Structure 1
């Protein structure tokens, strides 16, 4: 491995204005948070609407099974 040589031939001062870039990044972050909140709300509303009804016609009657499924859905917050 070669030795690293250092030499000092002067200095360089760089002044960069990044305020517009930072404003843009903050705006993107804010909109991403809003989109995430909206998706969460959408999922919650879909969970309230989607009701899976499984009916077993074996030993239980259809009406009784449907009633039990609706009670479970109401316990999860669904409304009819």
Structure 2
């Protein structure tokens, strides 16, 4: 799903719980989380959010690092 346009946000078409984002679960549950690059959709970067149980941040960093090293989705931005 592509991110909403600014006009859609200003018009109130996306209230908090239906806003298309991958960070809602982590922020609402207060669980440790990390967002990782997960590829592209029509040229726009897509992220994946991983969550772990409280006080398991070391596992989160290991999982995140392993995911990034395995997938190689991370790319520097291209500026015109």
Is the structural similarity TM-score above 0.5?
A: no
Larger helix percent: 1
* TM-score, length basis structure 2: 0.27
Larger strand percent: 2
Instruction: State which structure, 1 or 2, has the greater radius of gyration over its C-alpha atoms.
Output: 1
* TM-score, length basis structure 1: 0.27
